[in-house]
Structure 1
C-alpha cells in the first residue's frame, strides 16, 4: 500500500505542481495548438497594447466551467481528465477524475489539495501558493500586469499571448494564452523543470452562475490533514 501511495503521489505531483501556479489564471485563458499556422508576416503588438487587450479579455470572463484534458510531457509525463470551475475573485475548483481522483479547491484565502487514493488533504495559504504567479492577471490593472510580466502578442490580429514572468521567483518560464470567440480552448505552461503542460478545455460555459459551495472543502472523516 505504501508503494502504491508513493507512485500515486508522484503522478499527482506532476499535475499539482503545474496547476497550483497557474490555476488562478484559469478564468478565461487558453493557448493555441496551431501557432505555426499563423502568418509569419503579421505584425506583433507592443507590450502595453498586448497587456490592455489581454486584460480586456480576462475582464469579460467573470466565471467559467468546463471539462479538461491535461497532458504533461517531460521528466514526469501523464494525462489527466476532469472538470473545473472558476469565479472571480480567486475562486476555483479543479477536479481530476481519471486515471486517479484529486480535488483542488480555493476560495480566495485557503487552498485545499485532496488526494482520495492517498487519503490525504493538504491545506495551504493562497498567498503562499500564488506568489509571483499569473494570479496578478486578475488584478484588472493592465499597467500592473505589464510591470510583473513581459506580455507579448506575436500576431496583432490574433488573440494569442505569451507571458514571461519578470520575477526570478516564478515557478514557470512562460505561459501561452489564447482566446477563441471569447472562450478559452487551451492553456500551455512551460515550467522551470523543462516540462510542458497543456490543458484543453471542452464543454465550456462562460459566466455561469456557480454556487459558493463549489469552492468550499471539508476533509472527509479519517483523512490525514497536512497544514503548510
Structure 2
C-alpha cells in the first residue's frame, strides 16, 4: 500500500516537474505576446528617455511617439523629429538642421514597433530575472547589428530599459514616466525649419 502511494506521489511530482519545465520554456514567448498585446492598445505615448553609449550618457529628454513610427524627441541642444519616413535633426545652438531618410538598420535608431515585432521574429528568445527581462539573440543569417538585445518589462507590460550589445559600442536606453494614448497632432511629427537656419538635406 505504501509502495503504491509512493508510486502515485512520484508520478505527481514528475508531472509537476514536466509542467514546470514546459511553462518555463514557454515563458519568453508568453512574455513577448503580452508585450505585443499591450503595444497593440497604444496609439501614442510620451515618456522620459535617457540614452547611453559605452556607459556614457549621450542624450536625455522627452520623447513623444505616435503610430506608425512617428516621434518627437526634445533634448538639451537638439530637437529630433520623424514622420516615419524622414528624420529632422535640429541643432538649436547652431540653428542648423540635417534631414535624412529613416534608416531602421542603424542600431542607434530606436523604433518601438521594430523591437516589439520585427526583431523577435529574427531572434531566439529567452528570459532573465524571472521573466522581467526578455533576451533576444539573433539567429544565424540575420542582418541585425547586435549580438544580444535585452528588454526590461515592468508590471504594466511597458519597456523600461533596452540594452543592445555588440552594436559597435553597447547602447542602453532608459524609459520612465509613461503617459499613454494622449491626443498628439500629426503636426508634432513634422519639422518646419526656423527662418535663417542652415538646412542640409541628405535624402
Do both share a fold (TM > 0.5)? yes
From 44, 53, 65, give the equivalent of 1:72.
53
Higher Cα Rg, which structure: 2
Identify which of 158, 174, 197 aligns with 2:131: 158
One of 60, 73, 86 as aligned partner of 1:94: 73
Contact kept? 1:93, 1:215, Cα under 8 Å:
yes
**Structure 1: gaps of 5 or more residues:** 1-41
Q: What is the Cα deviation at residue 186 of structure 1?
A: 2.2
Equivalent position SS for 2:33: helix
**How far has the Cα of 1:177 moved from its partner?**
1.2
Q: 1:147 Cα shift?
A: 3.5
> 104, 112, 123: which is aligned to 2:88?
112
- Contact 2:150–2:164 at 8 Å: present in 1 too? yes
Shift of 1:46: 6.5
Residue 100 of structure 2 corresponds to residue 124 of structure 1: yes
1:190 maps to 2:168: no
User: Once superposed, what is the RMSD of the aligned Cα atoms?
Assistant: 3.2
Question: Residue 122 of structure 2 corresponds to which residue in structure 1?
Answer: 148
**Partners of 1:136 and 1:145 within 8 A in 2:** no
From 49, 58, 61, the equivalent of 2:42 is 61
Distance 1:216 1:136, change over 3 A: closer
TM-score after normalising by structure 1: 0.63
- Counterpart contact for 1:54–1:161, Cα < 8 Å: no
Q: Does 2:60 align with 1:81?
A: yes
Contact 1:121 1:224 in 2 (8 A): yes
Size of the alignment, in residue pairs?
Answer: 176
Q: Which has the higher contact order (CA 8 A, sep 6+)?
A: 1
Q: Which range moves more in the overlay, 195-204 or 145-154?
A: 145-154
